[in-house]
Structure 1
Amino acid sequence: MNKNLILKFIYDNVRVTIRTRYNKYYLDFIFNGKRIKRSTGLVANETNLKELKRNIIPEIFKTLTGNTIIEYLKKDILFNEFSIKFFEIYKGSGVREHIYEANYSIYEKQIKPYFLKYNIDEIKPLQLEEWQNKLLDKYSTHTVIRYRSILNLILNKAFENDIININPLSKVKYPSSINKKFKKLDELEETEIHPFNKDEILKILDNAKGNLYYFIYIMLCTGMRPGEIISLTWNDINFEKKRIAVDKTTVRGKIGNVKTQSSVRYVDIIPALEKELKSLQELNISDKYLFISNYKKPYYSHIVIAKHFKKLLFNINIKDRNLYNLRHTFASSMITAGHNILWISQMLGHKDISITMKVYARFVKEDDEKRIENLSKIVPNF
C-alpha cells in the first residue's frame, strides 16, 4: 500500500480526505471551515479501504449533514449493497407494505442470486440479457417483464445518484411475445376470465352458507374487490342513502388504503342487496365488522374466503374459477343488461370507463339464438 495515498470525498459542506501514516488510515475533515484530523486505527489495506468508502465515510456524511439519503460513493460498490440501501429508501417512500414485500421478494429470489458478486458499475447489457433469457426459459413474458421492472428501479436509482453513467438495462430489449404460440379458440375459452352464468350463480347461492354466502352476494351485487369487502364495518353502510363507503382494504392482516385513488368511492346498495345486508346485520349486531372469522376477529386475508369458495365449486360440480370472477360476473352481467357503463365503472372503482370497456367488453356475448336472429336482419346493400 502506497503510504502517500490520498483520496478525497466531498458531500454538501463536508470534505473528507483519507491519508496513510505509519501504515494506518487517517481521516482529515473539513467541516464548516474547521479542520479535524483523526486516526481510524485501521491498517492500510484494500479490505479496510473498501470499509471506509462503503460504510464509515457515508455514515460520517450522514451524521454531520443530517441527510439520511446519502450520496453513494462511486467506486467498489457491490450491487447487493446498493440494492439494500435502495430498498431501505423505497420502504420509507410511502409504497404499500404488501407491494414492498412482494417486490423485495422478487429481488431476493430472482435478481440478487445472479448479480450478488458484481460491483454495480460492472453490470453490462450482456449480463442483463443473459439473466433475462434464463428467466424466459422458466417464466412467462409477463412475469419476466415484472421482474425486470424491479431491477430497472434499482439501476435507475444508481444512475440518478451518478454511480453509473447509464442504466445498462435500457440497452436490453424487452422480452418479446411475438414467438409465443397462438391459442386455439378452445384454449382461449379455458384461459380467459370466465364469469359465472345465471344457473351457476343460483346454484352457488343455494349451496353457500354463513359468511361465504353473504360475501358472495355482496361481491355479485357490487363488484367490490375481496380485500375491500372483508374491511367493511357497519359504519361504512348507510341504509338511508343506500350506499357503501369504500376507502380501505385488508392485506395480510393490515388495513390500509385501497388500490388507487379512484378506488375510493361509494357503492350503491341495490334493493336485493339491502335485504341481505340487514339479515347479516341481525346476525352480527354486536360486531364492528361485517365479517368476523371463527376466531372472533376480522379476517386476516380474503384467502380464507377464497379457499372456501374453491371447495364449494368443487362440491357442487362447477368449473373451478377464482373468487375474483364474482367481480367479473357483476361487471359483465350489468353491461349485458344495458346498464349505464359510467355507473358500472364507478361501482368497480375504475379510473374511467375506457378501463372498464377494455377489461369487460369482450365478455358481453349474445346467446346464439339472439345472435342468429340478428344476423337474419342484416342485408347487404349490394
Structure 2
Amino acid sequence: MNKKTVHIRIQKQSLVLDYFFRGRRFRESLGLKNTSENFLLAKERAAILEKTLQTLDVRMKESGLQKQSLQPEILKQVISDERSKTVFGYKLSRGLDDYLIENFKKGSNERHYRDSVNSFINVCGDIDVKTVAAGEYHKFKEWMLKERSYGTALTRINYLHILYDWFIRKNKYTNENPFTKLKPRKKQNIVTISDEHWTIILPELKSQSLELYNYIYFLKCSGFRKEEALQQKWSDVYFDKDVIVVTTFKDNSNEELFPLNLRKNELKKHLLEMKENSVDEHLFHLRNVDIIKRFQKTLELLGLPKYTLHDIRRTFGSYWATRITQIQLMKLMRHKS
C-alpha cells in the first residue's frame, strides 16, 4: 500500500473517504452530511476501512496478486467491506467445510451443522468468520425466535457455538465465542390439537389454499416431521403395498416404511386424491417459512391457540400412544428412544 491513512474530506457539504490503495486513489462518499455527529461516525468507518485495506493488501500478496494487477473497477469492488469478506476472507461456509472434514463423516451431525450455518447465512450473509460478533448473533437469534420454534433456535445456535469453539482453537477467531448457548426450556405439558379445532382449521385452509390444506392434512394423518413431508416424492409412495418410504430427517441415511392404511386408510385416500392433480414428482411445492407464516395467520384469523407444526406431530403421537405398544409407537414416530 502506498498510503495507509484514510482521510476524511468534505465535498459539497458531504463527508467523503479519500485514500490510496496499490498506487490508485479512491474516493468513497459516505452519504452523510457534515455534522459533528456524522464526523465521529465517519472516523469509525475510516478506521474500519484502514484495517480492511491492510488485511486486503496482505491477502492479495499471499494470493500472488502484485501491485496494480487488478483493473481499477475490480479493485474498487474488492476494497468494499462486503466484497473483501466474500472474495478474500475466510468465509463461514468454508470454515464449516474445514470443520466437517476434520471432525465428522456424513450423517445427522453434518446435516445439523449445515442447517445451522445456512440459516445464519440466510440472515446475515456468508461473511468472514472473524467479523461475526454480538450484533450478528443477536440479529440471528431474534430472527430464529420469530420465524422458528424455540427448540429449533436452540439447536441452530448451540451448533454454531460448537463451531466457533473450534474456530477459536484453530486461531481462526480471536475474540470470545459470539454465540451464547440457549438454555432448554422446562418441559411443559404436551400441546395437542383437538378434533373440534381440526373441524374449524381444515375447512378454512382448504378455502384459502388447496396445496397448504393437502400438506397440513398429510401431517395430521402421518405425524411426519415437516421437513420429512416436504422431501417426499411420488416414487416413495407404494399404493399397492400400502406403504410410503420416508427418509428419517434426523438420520439422512436411514429409510423406513410408513403404513398408509391407518385409521380407515385416511392417509392413502388423501394421497390418491392428491395424485390425480399432481404435476411432477414432488408431493408438495411449499417453502418451510411460508407454511409456518400461513398456518399461524390462519390460526390467528380463527381465534385459535398458536399451534405449531410440530404440535400436529404431537397430536398424532398422543392419539396412537394409547392404542399401540411403546415399541410400535417408537417405530411409527421414527424415534430412536
The alignment's TM-score, normalised by the length of structure 2, stands at 0.52
- Residue 93 of structure 2 corresponds to 87
- Residue 120 of structure 2 corresponds to 103
Change (3 A) 1:99 1:264: farther
Using the TM superposition, give the Cα deviation of residue 278 of structure 1 relative to its aligned residue in structure 2, in angstroms: 3.4
The answer to whether structure 1 residue 281 and structure 2 residue 272 are counterparts is yes
> 2: distance between equivalents of 1:261 and 1:243?
19
1:20-169, aligned counterparts within 5 Å?
Answer: 53-57=58-62, 84-91=90-97, 98-104=115-121, 116=131, 147=157, 150=160, 152-154=162-164, 156-157=166-167, 159-160=169-170, 169=176
Q: Could you report, residue by residue, the CA deviation over 1:272-313 in whole angstroms, capped at 9, with x for unpaired residues?
A: 36345335424533633464xxxxxx5141444444433443
- Residue 221 of structure 1 corresponds to 221
Change (3 A) 1:206 1:261: same
Q: Structure 1 vs Structure 2: percent identity of aligned residues?
A: 18
> 2: distance between equivalents of 1:49 and 1:316?
58
The answer to whether structure 1 residue 198 and structure 2 residue 195 are counterparts is yes
The answer to whether structure 1 residue 341 and structure 2 residue 329 are counterparts is no
Change (3 A) 1:246 1:83: farther
> 1: distance between equivalents of 2:97 and 2:158?
19
Change (3 A) 1:331 1:262: farther
Change (3 A) 1:193 1:262: farther
Q: Secondary structure at the match of 1:278?
A: helix
Using the TM superposition, give the Cα deviation of residue 233 of structure 1 relative to its aligned residue in structure 2, in angstroms: 2.4
215-224 or 324-333, which moves further after superposition? 215-224
Matched-pair contact (CA < 8 Å) for 2:236–2:244: yes
- Residue 258 of structure 2 corresponds to 267
Q: Secondary structure at the match of 2:244?
A: strand
Q: Which amino acid aligns with 2:163?
A: L
> 2: distance between equivalents of 1:311 and 1:203?
14
Q: Secondary structure at the match of 1:246?
A: strand
Using the TM superposition, give the Cα deviation of residue 327 of structure 1 relative to its aligned residue in structure 2, in angstroms: 0.8
Q: 2:316 aligns with which of 303, 319, 330?
A: 330
Q: Which amino acid aligns with 1:54?
A: R
Q: Secondary structure at the match of 1:194?
A: coil
Change (3 A) 1:278 1:224: same
The alignment's TM-score, normalised by the length of structure 1, stands at 0.47
Change (3 A) 1:227 1:50: closer
Matched-pair contact (CA < 8 Å) for 2:92–2:117: no
- Residue 299 of structure 2 corresponds to 313
Using the TM superposition, give the Cα deviation of residue 193 of structure 1 relative to its aligned residue in structure 2, in angstroms: 5.2
227-236 or 48-57, which moves further after superposition? 48-57
- Residue 38 of structure 2 corresponds to none
Structure 2: gaps of 5 or more residues? 1-50, 66-84, 101-105
Q: Secondary structure at the match of 2:258?
A: strand
Using the TM superposition, give the Cα deviation of residue 330 of structure 1 relative to its aligned residue in structure 2, in angstroms: 0.8
Using the TM superposition, give the Cα deviation of residue 56 of structure 1 relative to its aligned residue in structure 2, in angstroms: 3.0
The answer to whether structure 1 residue 230 and structure 2 residue 236 are counterparts is no
Q: Which amino acid aligns with 2:324?
A: H
> 1: distance between equivalents of 2:271 and 2:179?
54
> 1: distance between equivalents of 2:95 and 2:250?
21
Change (3 A) 1:267 1:83: farther
Using the TM superposition, give the Cα deviation of residue 236 of structure 1 relative to its aligned residue in structure 2, in angstroms: 1.2
Using the TM superposition, give the Cα deviation of residue 316 of structure 1 relative to its aligned residue in structure 2, in angstroms: 4.0
Q: Could you report, residue by residue, the CA deviation over 1:18-68 in whole angstroms, capped at 9, with x for unpaired residues?
A: xxxxxxxxxxxxxxxxxxxxxxxxxxxx999966753433669xxxxxxxx
Matched-pair contact (CA < 8 Å) for 1:220–1:330: yes
> 1: distance between equivalents of 2:303 and 2:191?
16
Q: Which amino acid aligns with 1:277?
A: K
Structure 1: gaps of 5 or more residues? 1-45, 61-79, 119-127, 249-257, 292-297, 354-382
Matched-pair contact (CA < 8 Å) for 2:221–2:267: no
Matched-pair contact (CA < 8 Å) for 2:115–2:156: no
Change (3 A) 1:214 1:340: farther
- Residue 5 of structure 2 corresponds to none
Change (3 A) 1:347 1:289: farther
Q: Secondary structure at the match of 1:150?
A: helix
Matched-pair contact (CA < 8 Å) for 2:300–2:306: yes
Change (3 A) 1:196 1:284: same
Q: How many residues align?
A: 245
Q: Which amino acid aligns with 2:61?
A: I
Matched-pair contact (CA < 8 Å) for 2:158–2:181: no
